[in-house]
Amino acid sequence: MSFWSLSTGEAPTGTAEASFVSDFSIIPDGTTAPAQIKEFKLEDSNQSYPSAFYEITYKVTDGQFKGREVRQKIKCFDAKPNIADRSLNMLKRVYDLTSHKPAHVEAPSTADLRPMVGRIVGIKIREFIGTKQDGTPSNGNYVSEVNKFDKDFEVVVGSKLEVPPTAISSALTRNAVAGLPNDGSDIPF
């Protein structure tokens, strides 16, 4: 392989599609799209089920957001029974929609989930706006619904959520430069 070989062994084309960085902006709230299960795993870094969860990474296969990835956490081991029960129902739903059957009665391992990778389902993408523990604003996407993808599935582009003005003003106050007068303007310096 020479320097001018891609990881696939092919020569680079230099086209715009192959060269540009993907869009990382937030997908509008309420968007529905077909998506392929790219990865499905049990996240149990502490081997502690109360903190463990299943995570599905979906890759949108068509529409305005084609190629974008979004994740879904399924918290079957949550200490709150209502969250654990809803999550167990969601896990069962994903099994059913991908025509996969559990191989045993124990909690599925990452290996048990692999046969669902590559399957296409219809997802609903939601947007969240919040505040991290350190007080900084946070926003992103998550999957709230998983449905059968067929001819009746409707692809919809949702509406962008507005960031509350309090999140912006608190960030400006929190990030003010020490020693400079705070004249109340929107300029943080």
For 29-78, the DSSP string reads BTEEEEEEEEEEEEE-TTS-TTT-EEEEEEEE-SSTTTT-EEEEEE-TT-
| Domain boundaries, position 48 | 25-155
167 within a domain of the structure (yes/no): no
180 within a domain of the structure (yes/no): no
Note the pTM of the prediction, 2 decimals: 0.75
10 within a domain of the structure (yes/no): no
Domain at 150, CATH number: 2.40.50
| Number of domains forming the structure of the chain | 1
Q: Which residues of 52-66 are buried (b: 16+ CB within 10 A; e: fewer)?
A: bbbbbbbebeeeebe
pLDDT at 165 over 50: yes
Instruction: Kindly report, residue by residue over 117-161, the tens digit of the pLDDT.
Output: 999 999 999 999 888 888 888 889 999 999 999 999 999 999 988
- CA distances 147 to 11, 27, 113, 182, Å, are 39, 18, 18, 51
The predicted pLDDT at position 180 comes to 52
11 within a domain of the structure (yes/no): no
Sequence-separated (6 or more) residues with CB below 8 Å from residue 64: 157
43 within a domain of the structure (yes/no): yes
**Structure tokens that stand for 186 in this block:** 């929107």
Amino acid at 180: L
117 within a domain of the structure (yes/no): yes
176 within a domain of the structure (yes/no): no
